[in-house]
Structure 1
Amino acid sequence: MSRINVPAVESATGATAEVYAEVKKAAGSVPNMFVALGALAPQVLKSVLNAEGVLGAGTLSRQEAETIKLAVSEQTGCDYCVAAHTVIGKMTGLSAQTLRQIRAGEPTGDARRDALARFVRELQTTSGTISAEQFAAIKAAGYSDAQLVEITLAIALTVFTNTFNRINDTDVDFPPVR
């Protein structure tokens, strides 16, 4: 059970009810993480959703965004986000095998995706400015400077949700991933 107690979605009022309605319209339901964020800080959930909209309108493909989010979630150890991004990754067309390979840090057979996952893992596991070689490798994989901004946004959003879920121990309402 999640650590933070929040009221049922159906009892929400005001800004919380409004943001829940947006999520439900877009996704069909309100995932537990969004329930908790919306109940506690609807403006924060709205900001996350707006940032996700900016990311979705960018030039990274949905598969690339899910590659980033899954790699970050695996590195951080967020069981909620690993489960969520595995499901969403499948919805974007990534195979179960590819998703397992991304999580394990193994090659997927797609050089561009592998370069992206490696770049994200390096950013998550090192400190300081990335090396010239790391920068050259992501650029050689075909990522533009503008896409580096989008990659950064995807990482930042994922670190935020991972951190909140790790604090809350949010009940996983997606199929669990082993």
Structure 2
Amino acid sequence: MITTAFSVPTREHVSENNQIIFDNLQKALGFVPNLYATIAHSKNGLERYLAYQNAKTSLSNKEKEAVNLIVSQVNNCAYCQSAHLVLGKMNGFTDYQLLEIRHGKSSDSKLNALVALAADITKNRGNAHESNVNTFFEKGFTNENLVDLILLISDKTAMNYLHNLTKVPVDFPLAPAI
């Protein structure tokens, strides 16, 4: 059990570099998400994390959101599930499709292969069943996509762990339990 409370720092309580990032997030999103603000406890963490998160990838935005959502579901992160339901809708998913992904599947066969492999890798700490890997490649994904998938899983797992440990307030509409 955590005995130290993790507060969400305000702009005034973070480094000058993080204050600039807070200002940019405020302009782009209309607010600074609590989990990002929590990263700002580290003088360099927020800048480093955002650079990693926003790096170019071979996966589409829709594929990235599917991976973010299933990884957050597997890691039982209420904050990231909530955020990625909103972002998933912004990237064209319906409520039904998002529910499917949270259950580890998709009616789109290519997306299903991606979601199944992402869930398998997350559940098994980097190991995966050969059948899921084979299906991933059979559906047209490449070695580059596999590397980018693993990098995306690591990005989302870090945020899942941060929220699961700190329990900072969720500032998105709360994901319904499934």
Same fold by TM-score greater than 0.5: yes
Kindly state the Cα deviation for residue 11 of structure 1 after the two structures are TM-superposed: 5.3
Is residue 80 of structure 1 aligned with residue 82 of structure 2? no
Cα gap change, 1:72/1:111 in structure 2, threshold over 3 Å: closer, same or farther? Answer: same
Q: In the alignment, which of 15, 30, 37 is matched to residue 28 of structure 1?
A: 30
Equivalence for 1:113: 111
1:160 aligns with 2:158: yes
Q: Which amino acid aligns with 1:35?
A: A
Q: Kindly tell me: are residues 36 and 50 of structure 1, through their superposed partners in 2, closer, same or farther at Cα, counting changes over 3 Å?
A: same
How far apart, CA to CA, are the structure 2 residues paired with 1:77 and 1:129? 19
Q: How does 1:81-100 map to 2 (within 5 A)?
A: 81-100=80-99
Aligned length: 173
Structure 1 counterpart of 2:146: 148
Are 2:19 and 1:17 aligned? yes
1:84 Cα offset (Å): 0.3
Q: 1:43, 1:156 → 2: CA distance?
A: 18
Q: 1 or 2 for the larger relative contact order (CA 8 Å, sep ≥6)?
A: 1
Residue pair 1:19, 1:42 contacting (<8 A) in 2 also: no
CA RMSD of aligned residues (A): 1.8
In the TM superposition, structure 1's runs of 4+ consecutive aligned residues that sit over 3 Å from their partners are 10-13, 127-132
Specify every segment of 5 or more residues in structure 1 that has no aligned partner in the other structure, as ranges: none
Which residue identity lines up with residue 138 of structure 1 in the other structure? Answer: F
Structure 1 residue 126: Cα displacement:
2.1
Q: Which deviates the most, 130-139 or 107-116? A: 130-139
Q: Does the alignment pair 1:45 with 2:46?
A: yes
User: Could you tell me which amino acid in structure 1 is paired with residue 47 of structure 2?
Assistant: K
Q: Take 1:118 and 1:13, find their aligned partners in 2: how far apart are those partners?
A: 40
Alignment-mate amino acid for residue 144 of structure 2: A
Give the Cα separation in 2 of the matches to 1:92 and 1:108.
15
Q: Which has the larger helix fraction?
A: 1
The Cα shift of 1:128 comes to 6.4
Distance 1:161 1:129 in 2: 20
Q: Paired residue for 1:59?
A: 58
Please say if residues 120 and 127 of structure 2, whose CA atoms lie closer than 8 Å, have aligned partners that are also in contact: no
When the two structures are superposed, what TM-score results if normalisation uses the length of structure 2? 0.89
Q: CA deviation at 1:25?
A: 3.1
Task: Give the match for residue 8 of structure 1.
Answer: 10
Worse overlay, 71-80 or 137-146 = 137-146
> What percent of counterpart residues are identical?
27
In the TM superposition, residue 127 of structure 1 has moved relative to its aligned partner by: 4.9
CA–CA distance in structure 2, aligned partners of residues 44 and 128 of structure 1: 24
Partners of 2:117 and 2:132 within 8 A in 1: yes
Task: Give the conservation status (yes or no) of the 8 Å contact 1:63–1:93.
Answer: yes
